[in-house]
Structure 1
Amino acid sequence: MTWFVIGYYTVLLAASCLAAYFNKRSLFLLLFSLTLVSFVLGIVGGTGALKFVAISAGVLALAGMVAYGFREFLIVLASDDLAKELRTAPMTAAFGMFVIFTYAVMGIFAPLIAPHGEAEIIASAFAPADENMLLGADQLGRDMFSRIVYGTRNSVGLALTATLMAFILGALAGLLAATKGGWFDQFMGRLADVIMSIPSLIFALLMLSIFGPHVHVIIIAVAIIYAPRVFRLTRAVAGNIVVMDYIEAAKLRGEGTWYLIRKEILPNSMAPLIAEFGLEFCFVFLLVAGLSFLGLGIQPPTADWGSMVRENATLISFGDITPLIPAAAIALLTVAVNFVVDWMLWRSAGLKET
């Protein structure tokens, strides 16, 4: 038994006893459960398993502290009403907002953050990391860190643009269908059903094979795929609003369709629509990354996370985890957006803490 093992169990048991003494029931259950799990893992995996648990717990604790600090920072900067809402945000949502903020800074200031150009060859193929390359070089000798930074702008920017286009088309069609009703509502509903019946990946591959893997083709294809999903949600939400008394009163005043949409329906539909936007962004982002991995997304030499995984996949055979870094960047952003969306859905459902 090493000093690390002795110290590891001593810290866990001491923290568990302190939590029990101060009547922190949830914290005590967490710490003592971790102690029991560590005991089993220590028998099976030895010191290495305990070090992995300790590192994982440290990373989670660091993420929690970052999330708490970022939430308090936003509360200080926000107005009173927004600060009141932010205080109800769980640590997962705060962590998600911090990740989104970090990605936004990386994308906007990519030329200032990246030490090299996204297509600049500065070393030999698969050169290891050194003082000039934090993550080493790719298959052509380009700096992996710089390409990941530029990939934030390209991958996230393309997914965000496609999501905006899909959301505008779907939300506008849904609002018009709910307001007008009749044959227009029926026609749009059947059209959405037809598009949704086609597998999204097959439809995207077909469009890109016919028109070529250009950025505008990707945006249009993705918008066509996901606009019906937005349409159906918008139609359902707006359909519950158009039957309200204040909508009937506005119609009796002689208000037109666009007035009803802009002043009456849309403001009362914003909460679920914003949450839906976050979910749609995750779906679009993963689809764009998948297309790039297949070679039909953003074309080289433009940096893109999906294509970076494919181009450097051979390194995994040699025990190098570098190709997993852009994959982890994709997963981290998707999880972060879902954290924020879960909180927004909780708020839009009218749930309040007691």
Structure 2
Amino acid sequence: MNMFVIGYYAALIAASCLAAYYKNNKAFMLLFSLTLVSFVIGIIGGVSALRVVTIAVGLLALSAGVSYAFREFLIQLSRPGLAKELRTAPLTASFGMFVIFTYAIAGIFAPWIAPHGEAEVIASTFAPPDENMLLGADQLGRDIFSRIIYGARNSVGLALVATILAFVMGAVGGLLAAVKGGWFDQLAGRTADVIMSVPSLIFALLMLSIFGTNLSVIVIVVAVIYSPRVFRLTRAVAGNIVVMDYIEAAKLRGEGDWYLIRREILPNSTSPLIAEFGLEFCFVFLLIAGLSFLGLGIQPPTADWGSMVRENATLISFGDITPLIPAGAIALLTVSVNFVVDWMLFRSSGLKEQ
């Protein structure tokens, strides 16, 4: 029998026995279940399948270790109140924060991290990886690794700006609709319903075909598409707050609408709005990446993950997974943001782990 197989099963069984000896039931069930699953996979797929399982488990263990270390790092840097909240964060949320932090560093310091310029041609078409190009070259001979680093600045930065604009438009409209009510509430609500009734991708393609693919146009169009979602949530949250007694007391004191929004309503609706910001960012980010893939988003030679997938798609026909790297970067950021948002929604719901 292959020595790798013997060592693999011996390690799993030994770890399962240690977990059972120290009465760690969760670890025992996880490890022994992995042993049984690996036994079935080994029979069906052989040694190669077990190697894949080993790599996957190793990556999961590495991710868990990095997440735990990053959470402890944040706890050490935080104030006592925030540190107490961070201690309750699951490893998935810690992993999400680590990925977001990594993307932020890559985007901010892209010119210093990337070994080459985003539009610099340094090799032949689809040149293989070497000591100068970690991931090889694209269809024009540009360094793919450098373009992925710059793509973190361009793709994420544009999505963040569009999300902020959409959030400001939707949140301000929702707060005003809740406070003023009447015809303004009805007009804003029906306008939001009309915009939401049109599929977002079709609406974006139509607007960009008419007004062009300038970055400012992309930001405005995407913000208009997703601001109604923010409007509806803000209107619902603020609508439950404006009927409270302390709001009525503030109105009797003669306070204006902006005072009620700034000092009474907004502080009591922060948690769901922050969570909604994370969700909106994911939607906006995916829409911009889809538009770039279709050729109507960020235009060449500016590096963008969506356009990089389209430009290098021919490599898949030759068994090269390079086009999947920018696609994986898009998926990783989206999943990571959702991990953080899930934790924030759990905290804002008032539920506590026992």
Q: TM-score, normalised by structure 2?
A: 1.00
The answer to whether the aligner puts 1:54 opposite 2:65 as a matched pair is no
Matches within 5 A, 1:277-292: 277-292=277-292
| Equivalent residue, structure 2, for 1:84 | 84
Separation of aligned partners in 2, 1:68 and 1:162: 32
The 1-side partners of 2:71 and 2:179 are apart by: 39
- 1:119 and 1:164 mapped to 2: Cα distance? 28
In the alignment, structure 1 residue 310 sits paired with structure 2 residue 313: no
> Which runs of 5 or more residues in structure 2 are unaligned?
none
* Alignment match, 2:182: 182
Distance 2:162 2:218 in 1: 8
Deviation at 1:21, TM superposition (A): 1.1
Name the aligned partner's letter for residue 270 of structure 2: M
Equivalent in the alignment of 1:212: 212
Three-state SS of the structure 1 residue aligned to 2:269 is helix
Distance in 2, matches of 1:83 and 1:352, equals 16
- 2: CA distance, partners of 1:335 / 1:87: 21
Counterpart code for 2:333? L
**What displacement does 1:19 show?**
0.7
The aligned residue for residue 99 of structure 1 is 99
Shift of 1:267: 0.6
After TM superposition, list the pairs within 5 Å mapping 1:180-259 onto structure 2.
Answer: 180-259=180-259
- In the TM superposition, what is the alpha-carbon distance from 1:117 to its structure 2 partner? 0.3
Output the amino acid matched with 1:286.
L
Deviation string 1:178-232 (CA, Å, 9 cap, x unpaired) is: 0011111111111110100001000000001001111111111101110000000
Which whole-Å CA distance do the structure 2 matches of 1:20 and 1:227 have between them?
53
**Separation in 1, partners of 2:158, 2:136:** 26
Give the secondary structure class of the aligned counterpart of 1:300.
Answer: coil
Q: Identify the residue that residue 349 of structure 1 maps to in structure 2.
A: 349
**Counterpart-to-counterpart distance in 1, 2:167 and 2:57:** 39
SS in 2 for 1:261: helix
Partner of 1:296, secondary structure, is coil
Aligned equivalent of 1:126 = 126
* Distance in 2 separating the partners of 1:295 and 1:190: 32
Letter in 1 for 2:57: A
DSSP-derived class of the 1:132 partner: coil
Following TM superposition, by how much is the alpha carbon of 1:123 offset from its aligned partner in structure 2, in angstroms? 0.2
Query: Partner of 1:126: helix, strand, or coil?
Result: coil
The count of corresponding residues between Structure 1 and Structure 2 is 354
Residue identity over aligned pairs, in percent, reads: 79
1:267 aligns with 2:267: yes
* Secondary structure of residue in 1 paired with 2:40: helix
Normalised TM-score (structure 1): 1.00
Task: Report SS of the residue matched to 2:142.
Answer: coil
Letter in 1 for 2:259: Y
CA RMSD of aligned residues (A): 0.5
Q: Which residue is equivalent to 1:294?
A: 294
| Amino acid in the other structure paired with 2:248 | E
Name 1:337's counterpart in structure 2.
337
User: How far does residue 120 in structure 1 lie from its aligned partner after superposition?
Assistant: 0.1
CA distance in 2, matches of 1:245, 1:104: 43
Aligned-pair CA distance for 1:172: 0.2
Supply the distance in 2 between the matched residues of 1:92 and 1:353 (Cα, whole angstroms).
15
| Whole-Å separation in 2 of the counterparts to 1:194 and 1:13 | 60
In the alignment, which residue of structure 2 is the partner of 1:173? Answer: 173
CA distance in 2, matches of 1:298, 1:68: 36
Q: CA deviation at 1:352?
A: 1.3
Unaligned runs of 5+ in 1: none
Which residue identity does 2:220 align to in structure 1? I
Instruction: Give, in angstroms, the shift of residue 353 of structure 1.
Output: 2.0
| Counterparts of 1:131 and 1:268, CA distance in 2 | 54
What do the CA deviations read for 1:5-38 (whole angstroms, capped 9, x no partner)?
Answer: 0000000011111111111111111111100110
Partners of 1:181 and 1:84 in 2: CA distance: 40
Residues in 2 aligned to 1:208 and 1:325: alpha-carbon distance in whole angstroms: 27
1:161 matched residue in structure 2: 161
1:301 Cα offset (Å): 0.2
Which amino acid is the alignment partner of residue 165 of structure 1?
A: L
Query: 2:295 is paired with a residue of what secondary structure?
Result: coil
Q: Does 1:15 align with 2:41?
A: no
